[in-house]
Amino acid sequence: MNRTLLALIAMAAAHGFLNAQHVRRVPALPEQKHDGPSIAPTVRPTVNPKGTAFFNEPFDNDLNGWTVVSGIGTLDWAWTNSGPGPTASTYPVPPLNTSTPSGWAIIDDDYLGTPGQQAESSLVSPVIDLSAAPANLKVEFDQYFQEFSDPDVETWVGVSTDGGTSWDEVLINEGVGRDGRPNPEQMDVDISAWVAANPSNVQLRFRYLATWDYGWQLDNIAIRELPNNDMALVSFAKTDFDFDLTGVANMDYSIYPLSQIRPMQMSGLLKNKGYLAQTGVSITTTVSEPGGANEVLNGGGLTFAPGETVSVPVTGYTPPSTVGSYSLDNVVTQNETDEVPSNNTSTDQFEVSTTTWAHDDGAVQSFILQGPDFAGEQFGVGNRFDLVADAQLVGVQVAIHDTTEAGTLIAGEIYDADDILLDQTTDHEILSSELNSVGGSTFITLTFDAPVDLFAGNAYLVMAHYFGGPEVVGFATSGTSAAQVSIVHYPDDPQGNFFYYVTRTPMVRAILAGPIGIDEANGLLARAPLAWPNPATEQTRLSFELLQAVPVRVELYAVTGELVHAADLGHLSAGEQQHMIDVSDLSQGLYTWTLDLDGRRFNGRLAVQR
């Protein structure tokens, strides 16, 4: 246990837990622009738009008559067939994954921009005659856009019908961030009202205003008829998490442990992208549960005006106490026949585990290093967890990226809602076999000397910690997090404000003691059985407290289902009991222990390490 741990635990004696899931709000991590690799953009197949194009610009050979209008500074739009210029950034901007790769338009702020200098530039089309087109129109385009600093970057789409004297325009891409952006992203804007003033004299404008951000790439700009009937499922949320209202309650977990299952209020963000009002708009979510059962959730029955966007909740849902994967199929319907059904559906998933609790998506996408201002100093990364039932934390799991040097020491930590350190695991020396490349899913389990009691109604921060030094440590990330959920910690930050939130999800998980299960009400056990140590190398002690005398049998199974240990303990009296399980001859891996109390069975996981 290091000096920092001792000092912080001493400080904790003067503080208590918050009796709710509210935690201290922390600022965003002030990352350097070129600090830390991004989550790889989501590469999407290009889509062939449907319907007649009344204007089309693929930028195959040059800007083809489009005008570049400089506003502020010297940074301007240009034609490219290769993408952004090279930078020293480890967070590179990729080329637009366009379906017409012979050329596209780009404003390359990352490569050509100046730190701290604002730039404004517009890309303006030639005059377009739409007098023969229908009244209901949209402009479609492919883009790649990632955002370094909101609100320091703005992207606008506009229309003029008076030769550029005045413009109607709409702000797009607000708050999209820089992680996991789609490439390409198909965008569309309703321009019907703007064109109506003078359809024979239409110009399009794409305006970029930023202070040294990443830039914007565009291709395949087309004007098409706006469908009369087009409802879209823009996004789907599995919980109603809202930090401003309820703190970290109702966070969206990728894996729930059995003891922390809670009601999930799901909702879909729906938008009327058509020209006419849509009636009877509803969303249906079908939850496919382990074992084949389905639960159908419904919401809506609403009328949407053209362009209206509304978050629509579905029927509340609480997962059953069944371990496994849960898949979600979401579909939007309305009374009218939808002309673009491809944007009516989405899928999602989550898992229920015996003891694992996670935010991450399970496979390494990127990693987090110390910022350049903290090289060589100790730092940690982790996630917050909110409890709906009392539990015990027995370990922390973390995935490490292969930028890390083998032999580096790390540990797991747990903090209370005031970000006060409660306990730290034993140190662990990272092995080369424990490192992950992108796509990897190897986790290291860090165990506490004794289980840490956690209490319902409280939130905790579970972290992986590096003690500092010359080594490079890359904590793996997978997926994205809402603000205030995933945290980076710099204990030696001279500013004193050393907890920051990040939107990349650290692959740091909480491992709880096994749950009691549904038989707790039968009055056999006073508390959850506990196998300790877990992971084990030589032996583990299964301890439990009986409320009445009962015949007891203990079994241990390999993942193959093979019974590797069995012991009939006879008729044991009420009170504290324990049984030692020898694992010295077992191979490394996961096992399931079973405590059989006169036919009622309680299960848990045991990890064996070598």
DSSP track, 330-381:
EEEE-SSPPS-GGGSEEEEEEEEESSEEB-S-SS--EEE---GGGTTS-EEE
CATH class of 231-354: mainly beta
Mean pLDDT of 70-99: 86
Backbone angles phi, psi at 374, to 5 degrees: -125, 20
Mean pLDDT of 502-522: 72
Tell me what the pLDDT averaged over the chain comes to: 87
- Assess whether pLDDT exceeds 60 at residue 121: yes
Does 255 or 24 have the greater pLDDT score? Answer: 255
Tell me what pLDDT residue 147 has. Answer: 86
Contact present, 186 and 99 (Cβ < 8 Å): no
Separation between Cα atoms, residue 260 and residue 353, nearest integer Å: 10
**Hey, where are the domains in the chain?**
3-24+362-512, 42-225, 231-354, 518-608
Q: Tell whether the model's pLDDT for residue 14 goes beyond 60.
A: no
Considering only residues 298 and 544, tell me which one the structure prediction assigns the higher pLDDT.
298
What average pLDDT does range 373-377 have in this prediction?
Answer: 79
Domain 518-608 sits in CATH 2.130.10.10? no
Fold for domain 42-225? Jelly Rolls (2.60.120)
Cα–Cα distance, 510 to 518 (Å, whole number): 22
Residue 17 pLDDT exceeds 70: no
Q: What is the pLDDT of residue 47?
A: 52
Please tell me which residue, 522 or 588, carries the higher pLDDT value: 588
Span 29-60, pLDDT tens digits: 665 555 555 555 555 555 555 567 999 999 99
pLDDT at 32: 58
Place of tokens 């382990």: 290
Say what the pLDDT of residue 518 is.
Answer: 36
Mean pLDDT of 272-299: 95
546 or 304: which leads in pLDDT: 304
| Coil, helix or strand at residue 5 | helix
Q: What is the 3-state secondary structure (H, E, C) of 51-62?
A: CCEEEEECCCCC
- As to burial, measured by CB atoms within 10 angstroms (0-12 exposed, 13-18 middle, 19+ buried), residue 294 is exposed
**Amino acid present at 325:** S
Helix (H, G, I), strand (E, B) or coil at 510: strand
If you average pLDDT over residues 602-607, what whole number do you get?
79
Q: Is the pLDDT of residue 519 over 50?
A: no
Q: How far is CA 269 from the centre of its chain?
A: 17
Residue 421's CB: how many other CB atoms inside 10 A?
23
3-state DSSP assignment of residue 314: coil
Residue 520: pLDDT band (50, 70, 90) is very low
Between 500 and 436, residue with greater pLDDT: 436
% of the chain beyond a pLDDT of 70: 89
C-alpha to C-alpha distance for 507 and 479, rounded to whole angstroms: 9
Mean pLDDT computed over 563-572:
94
Q: Which residues contact 448 (CB under 8 A, 6 or more apart)?
A: 393, 394, 395, 412, 423, 424, 425, 426
Cβ count within 10 A of residue 154: 17
Q: What single DSSP character describes residue 528?
A: -
HEC assignment per residue over 155-166 = EEEEEECCCCCC
Same fold, 231-354 and 518-608: yes
For residue 538, what pLDDT is reported? 93
User: Which of 76-90, 209-223, 254-268, 315-329 is the least confident region?
Assistant: 76-90
Instruction: Lowest mean pLDDT of 33-47, 385-399, 457-471, 570-584, name the range.
Output: 33-47
Pairing of strands 435-436, 600-608: unpaired
- Give residue-wise pLDDT tens across range 319-331: 998 999 999 999 9
pLDDT at 347 over 60: yes
Question: pLDDT at position 472, please?
Answer: 87
Better-predicted residue by pLDDT, 142 or 499: 142
Residue 572 has pLDDT above 90, yes or no: yes
pLDDT for the residue 593: 87
> Of 164, 87, 174, 184, which is closest to residue 123 (Cα–Cα)?
164
- pLDDT of res. 375: 79
pTM for the predicted model, two decimal places: 0.74
**Cα–Cα distance measured from residue 139 to residue 141, given in angstroms and rounded to the nearest whole number:** 7
Q: What is the pLDDT of residues 526-556, one digit of tens each?
A: 777 888 888 889 999 999 888 899 999 999 9
How many angstroms separate the CA atoms of 567 and 47, rounded?
61
Q: Is the pLDDT reported for residue 90 higher than 60?
A: no
Does the structure show a pLDDT above 80 at 151? no
Would the pLDDT of 517 be above 60? no
Cα angle 306, 308, 313; round to 5: 135
Fold for the domain defined by 3-24+362-512: Jelly Rolls (2.60.120)
Mean pLDDT in residue range 492-520: 75
Which pLDDT score, from 0 to 100, does residue 303 have? Answer: 97
Helix (H) or strand (E) holding 551: strand 550-558
**According to the model, what pLDDT value does residue 531 have?**
85
Quick one: pLDDT at residue 466? 94
Task: Dump pLDDT digits (tens) for 409-465.
Answer: 999 999 999 889 999 998 889 999 999 999 999 999 998 888 999 999 999 999 999
Average pLDDT over every residue of 308-322 = 93
pLDDT at 31: 58
Residues 6 or more apart whose Cβ sits within 8 Å of residue 233: 268, 269, 270, 283, 330, 331, 332, 343, 344, 345, 346
